[in-house]
Amino acid sequence: MVYVNMFPYWNEVKYTKEPFAAKRLKQAMLCFISLGLFFCIIPVMACADHDEEHYMKPVSNPVYKQVCGACHFAYLPELLPSGSWRLILDNHGQYFGTDTGIDMNTKDAILQYLIGNAAEQSRAKRSKKIMKSIRGNLPTRITDIPYIREKHDEVSSDVFNRKSVGSFSNCVACHTTAEQGIFEDDNVVIPK
Ligand code: HEC
Ligand code: HEC
């Protein structure tokens, strides 16, 4: 008995082996679950925050990219509301003096993609600013959106007309991350 009293901990382990092991298992499981929560849920939340709330989604439709990216930057759907995209697809030839030569099925597929991802449904910060600034109007150019015009107030027409830029419509000339949907001023490099 003296032996047992001197080592009470050993005594407990020895005579309560099952409950002790069960307690340990429970602790291990709790630990595993909380670690799982931490490593799965937190990064997913951070990611959602990053991509959807702040930035526009890059173009994900290969047909749109190929057909509408043939002459200029394939503009991100979130740069205009769906009403604008309808007008543009109905009138592109007439508006811009070029015949895009696309068949009706392709045109329909492109329109579905554009209106399914248009600015009014976007959670991107800049799409919200675009929607606010057009005040219900449906511009057929991104470069006609008041918010976009204001942001380029200080860029002179000489700069837009540079050979290396071409025009205001050529977003990718200066916005190095435009294809990724990022228009942060930190990523602007105006070519010489
Ligand atoms: C054959 C060449 C060509 C193709 C193909 C083409 N575009 Fe264009 N697009 C142009 C030209 C040229 C302009 C601009 C003309 C100007 O600056 O006045 C333009 C301008 C635009 C603009 C306005 C840009 C701005 O200044 O804000 C949008 C939006 C646009 N196109 C969308 C599309 C979509 C959507 C498609 C696919 C259905 C498409 N384009 C296919 C030639 C083309
Ligand atoms: C000649 C180069 C050039 C072209 C072309 C250009 N931009 Fe910009 N953009 C700039 C500059 C410079 C700024 C201002 C950066 C600053 O505020 O410091 C800017 C700002 C912006 C901003 C606001 C960024 C912010 O942080 O507030 C948006 C959005 C934007 N541009 C979108 C576009 C889109 C869309 C196009 C194409 C239709 C385009 N830009 C074409 C140079 C350009």
> 90 CB less than 6 Å from ligand 2?
no
Do 42 and 66 lie in one domain? The reply is: no
* pLDDT at res. 54: 85
Do 122 and 28 lie in one domain? The reply is: no
- Number of folded domains that form the chain: 2
Ligand 2 atom at minimal distance to the Cα of residue 154: 12
> 141 CB less than 6 Å from ligand 1?
yes
Q: Which ligand places an atom closest to the C-alpha of 172?
A: 2
CB 131 within 8 A of CB 81: yes
> 130 CB less than 6 Å from ligand 2?
no
In this structure, how many other beta carbons lie within 10 angstroms of the beta carbon of residue 181? 21
> Is there a domain that residue 2 lies in?
no
Contacts 24+ apart (CB under 8 A), 111-116: 111/85, 111/86, 113/61, 113/63, 113/64, 113/77, 114/64, 114/77, 114/82, 114/85, 114/89, 115/77, 115/82, 115/85, 115/86, 116/77
Do 153 and 99 lie in one domain? The reply is: yes
> Is there a domain that residue 23 lies in?
yes
* pLDDT at res. 1: 47
> 172 CB less than 6 Å from ligand 2?
no
Give the model's confidence band at 91: pLDDT under 50 very low, under 70 low, under 90 confident, else very high: confident
> Is there a domain that residue 137 lies in?
yes
Model confidence pLDDT, tens digit, residues 151-176: 999 999 999 999 999 999 999 999 99
> Is there a domain that residue 166 lies in?
yes
Do 83 and 172 lie in one domain? The reply is: yes
d(CA 67, ligand 2 centre) in Å: 24
Ligand 1 atom at minimal distance to the Cα of residue 80: 29
Side-chain-side CA neighbours of residue 79 (13 Å): 22
* pLDDT at res. 44: 56
State which residues form the domain around 113.
62-187
Three-state SS at 55: coil
Model confidence pLDDT, tens digit, residues 14-69: 555 566 677 788 888 887 777 766 666 655 555 555 544 589 999 999 999 998 99
Distances (CA, A) of 181 to 3, 57, 86, 107, 148: 73, 6, 21, 23, 15
Give the C-alpha separation, 41 to 38, whole Å.
6
* pLDDT at res. 148: 98
Model confidence pLDDT, tens digit, residues 179-190: 999 999 999 999
